[in-house]
Amino acid sequence: MNILLTGGCGYVGTPLTQSLLAQGHRVTVVDIQWFGNYLQPHPNLTVVREDIRHTDKVPMAGAEVVMHLANIANDPCSDLNSKLNWEVNALATMQLAECAIAHGVKQFIFASSGSVYGVKDEPEVTEDLPLVPISDYNKTKMVSERVLLSYQDEIVVNIIRPATLCGYSPRMRLDLTVNMLTMQALAHGRITVFGGDQTRPNMHLQDMLRVYHHFLEHGMRLPGIFNAGFENISIFEIARRVTKLVPAEIVITPSNDPRSYRQSSKKLLATGFAPRFTVADAVAEVSAAFRDGRLTNDDVYYNIKTMKKIPNLA
């Protein structure tokens, strides 16, 4: 299958590209590469270094499926430049969808975010609950979802709302909760927890890849929106699980981030998908990568620190 993958050099995109190639697919990656390119050459891989806002330069011809992962990820990075955030996360998504339709692409798989729900009191946050995004990043994901759903009569749209991811990737991120707390324990012997009572859904990176493969295989008959998150645990509980594998002191400080919700993925599970990996697996992976020298506590693994160093970001 010919797959166009935006953001294919990212935290998720890098191992996803590798796994797609391993299954025999032909992959064209479009990525601006602010955070580097860790992909190895492959006869079925084409890498285009390009800003997805330049839709006319995205090689859509011949693509059978678009997997759209490229975005300004997380609240701090989106707040850094609001105009850039809306252009990349919302406007470019609309333009890519229209380009895909114009080229006869049959399926559009979109990486949204579980954070679109905001603060929820319900014991289970399901896909049919109203969205209350509380940040610009969350709002662009919500708007992108609604735009994509408006094209449902012209292309099959699969919208995935992932939980916070964790685990090791060649293009590592240490600004994700489990990864960040694990690195704090490894590098400093101390974990700082902001608040701690907030409950958040988590998912291992390898299960995220499996979700995308699941929709690549079955998505033509599974249009719509799907949550993807399997371990709903508090920030303090994440820290406690880290210290089971990496001894460290836990320090609790006040937090101004009220987001707390328990994501239900029963709709996804009903399609035949089942998770295989856990937060504990992610802690073990990050620890192993740190101890064998594959991973350091470097600024390049923190999105906001890297983006602040990029000149003329807009």
Domain ranges of the chain: 2-307
* Window from 52-61, 251-260, 283-292 with minimum mean pLDDT: 251-260
The DSSP secondary-structure symbol of 295 reads -
The C-alpha angle 46, 52, 54, rounded to 5 degrees, equals 105
Which H helix or E strand runs over 193?
A: strand 190-194
pLDDT classification of 195: cutoffs 50, 70, 90: confident
Res 106: pLDDT: 97
Residue pLDDT, tens place only, 118-134: 878 888 999 999 999 98
Residue with structure tokens 């399926």? 107
This prediction has a pTM of: 0.96
Per-residue pLDDT for 144 more than 70? yes
Q: How far apart are CA 193 and CA 310, in angstroms?
A: 29
Quote the percentage of the chain above a pLDDT of 70. Answer: 99
Average pLDDT estimate for 60-79: 96
SS3 of 157-187: EEEEEECEEECCCCCCCCCCHHHHHHHHHHH
For CA atoms 99, 46, 215, 69, the dihedral sign is negative
Average pLDDT estimate for 282-309: 97
Closest CA to 49 of 27, 28, 31: 31
Distance of CA 189 to the CA centre of its chain: 28
pLDDT classification of 52: cutoffs 50, 70, 90: very high
Residue with structure tokens 């590209």? 17
CA distance readout (Å), 107 to 65, 151, 153: 5, 11, 11
Q: How far apart are CA 130 and CA 124, in angstroms?
A: 13
Per-residue pLDDT for 155 more than 90? yes
Note the helical H segments in the chain.
Answer: 13-22, 75-80, 82-86, 92-102, 136-149, 177-188, 205-218, 235-245, 266-269, 279-291, 303-307
Quote the percentage of the chain above a pLDDT of 90. Answer: 89
Mean of all residue pLDDT scores within the chain: 95
The DSSP secondary-structure symbol of 196 reads S
Q: How far apart are CA 189 and CA 180, in angstroms?
A: 13
Q: How far apart are CA 75 and CA 311, in angstroms?
A: 20
Judge residue 267's burial from the number of C-beta atoms within 10 Å of its C-beta, 0-12 exposed, 13-18 middle, 19 or more buried.
middle
Res 193: pLDDT: 93
Residue pLDDT, tens place only, 228-279: 999 999 999 999 999 999 999 999 998 777 667 789 999 999 999 999 999 9
- CATH code of 2-307, in short, is 3.40.50.720
Res 314: pLDDT: 54
Residue pLDDT, tens place only, 70-101: 999 999 999 999 999 999 999 999 999 999 99
Res 111: pLDDT: 98
Per-residue pLDDT for 19 more than 60? yes
Res 313: pLDDT: 75
